[in-house]
């Protein structure tokens, strides 16, 4: 399955893959780049609801192939192409200062929101107009860590296949369903119609997280988080059943998006897991 010759930056396969650094090309081809051996391993382990994998092909330097022989064997065992490329060609595909020598081309893995709701989720994260790729990736990673059922990047939120977003998920993009492109109001309405209580996290919330009792957090819940700079606009906050603020006991002005999400999600996951274990 691998190419017999060393590919260069002018090789057609490399040139085609390099175009995926642009969002328009990703959308057109429904393909994206995954960089680094850990992330490629996670992508290789991914299976869609239909049992299909997402890795199309892998590019790696000879040095990376030597250092990650197990990954090379796993890729070939999955009957996926492993291309040996020159270091300068790999550098053209990578989007980091110090590339780790391995880049994969993968199919999109996002799912329709209806598919998420059909699984009767207990905990869903909705990002409304979250534009920073690092923050979006960190929220996906956090959602994965707490065992959330899905993440919805709604409204004008960043492309989940942006290279920085993919790297910030540290492989979590392949661990839980991600929904992309849904308008915020439609996403919230669908989740509420699916039986979830919608809690919006905002510094101006009328309730504090401490004031929510276990009964409130035990219900199937969708947490709604707003933009990093502007927070949650009034029209989005109005969509929620309750607007909740994380109490700050010290002198910090506020929490950043990923930290606030972590606090809210862990508080909810703790209660929900405890309720399930008590049954």
**Could you report the per-residue pLDDT of 128-154, keeping only the tens digit for each?**
999 999 999 999 999 999 999 999 999
Of 3.20.20.100, 3.40.50.720, 3.40.1280.10, 3.40.50.150, which CATH number belongs to 113-278? 3.40.1280.10
Bigger pLDDT: 185 or 253?
185
Give me the pLDDT at residue 2, please.
45
Look up the CATH superfamily of 12-107. Ribosomal protein L30/S12 (3.30.1330.30)
CB under 8 Å to 190, separation ≥6 — which residues?
113, 114, 117, 182
Which tokens hold the place of 262?
């972590």
Alpha helices by DSSP H, listed for the chain, are 12-18, 23-29, 37-45, 62-67, 69-77, 87-93, 113-118, 133-146, 163-169, 184-193, 214-218, 234-237, 257-278
Cα gap 9→4, rounded to integer Å? 16
Query: Which range scores top for mean pLDDT: 3-7, 123-127, 204-208?
Result: 123-127
**DSSP 3-state of 196:** coil
Average pLDDT over residues 9-30: 97
b/e string for 183-195 if b means 16 or more Cβ within 10 A?
ebeebbebbeebe
- 3 within 8 A of 83, measured Cβ to Cβ: yes
Average pLDDT over residues 100-120: 97
Average pLDDT over residues 237-255: 93
Is residue 3 pLDDT above 80, yes or no? Answer: no
Tell me the average pLDDT of the chain: 94
Average pLDDT over residues 97-106: 95
Residues in the chain: 279
Average pLDDT over residues 225-240: 89
Is residue 24 pLDDT above 50, yes or no? Answer: yes
Ranges in the chain annotated CATH 3.40.1280.10? 113-278
Average pLDDT over residues 223-236: 89
Task: Using alpha carbons, list the distances in angstroms from residue 58 to 8, 46, 98, 136, 171.
Answer: 14, 15, 18, 25, 16
Cα gap 169→142, rounded to integer Å? 8
Cα gap 195→143, rounded to integer Å? 20
Return the sign of the alpha-carbon dihedral for residues 43, 259, 228, 192: positive
| Spatial CA neighbour of 217 closest among 157, 154, 129, 146 | 146
Cα gap 48→33, rounded to integer Å? 18
pLDDT band of 230, cuts 50, 70, 90: confident
Give me the pLDDT at residue 228, please.
77
pLDDT band of 1, cuts 50, 70, 90: very low
- Percent of the chain at pLDDT > 70 equals 98
What is the residue whose two structure tokens read 């039986």?
Answer: 195
- Percent of the chain at pLDDT > 90 equals 90
What are the backbone angles phi and psi of residue 34, rounded to the nearest 5°? -125, 125
Ranges in the chain annotated CATH 3.30.1330.30? 12-107
| Spatial CA neighbour of 199 closest among 177, 226, 178 | 226
Give me the pLDDT at residue 4, please.
56
């Amino acid at each position: 399955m691998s190419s017999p010759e060393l590919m260069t930056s002018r090789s057609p396969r490399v040139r085609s893959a390099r175009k995926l650094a642009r969002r328009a090309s990703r959308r057109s081809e429904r393909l994206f780049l995954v960089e680094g051996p850990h992330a490629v391993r996670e992508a290789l382990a991914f299976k869609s609801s239909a049992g299909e994998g997402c890795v199309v092909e892998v590019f790696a330097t000879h040095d990376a192939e030597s250092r990650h022989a197990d990954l090379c064997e796993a890729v070939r065992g999955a009957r996926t192409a492993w291309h040996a490329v020159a270091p300068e060609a790999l550098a053209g595909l990578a989007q980091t200062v110090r590339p780790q020598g391995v880049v994969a081309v993968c199919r999109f893995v996002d799912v329709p929101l209806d598919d998420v709701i059909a699984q009767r989720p207990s905990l869903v994260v909705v990002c409304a107009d979250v534009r920073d790729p690092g923050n979006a990736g960190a929220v996906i990673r956090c959602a994965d860590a707490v065992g959330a059922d899905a993440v919805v990047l709604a409204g004008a939120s960043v492309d989940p296949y942006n290279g920085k977003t993919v790297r910030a998920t540290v492989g979590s993009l392949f661990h839980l369903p991600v929904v992309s492109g849904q308008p915020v109001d439609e996403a919230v309405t669908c989740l509420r119609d699916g039986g979830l209580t919608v809690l919006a996290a905002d510094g101006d919330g009328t309730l504090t997280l401490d004031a929510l009792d276990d009964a409130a957090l035990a219900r199937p819940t969708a947490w709604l988080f707003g933009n990093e700079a502007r927070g949650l606009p009034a029209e989005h906050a109005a969509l929620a059943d309750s607007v909740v603020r994380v109490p700050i006991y010290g002198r910090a002005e506020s929490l950043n998006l990923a930290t606030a999400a972590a606090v809210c999600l862990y508080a909810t996951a703790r209660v929900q897991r405890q309720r399930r274990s008590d049954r």
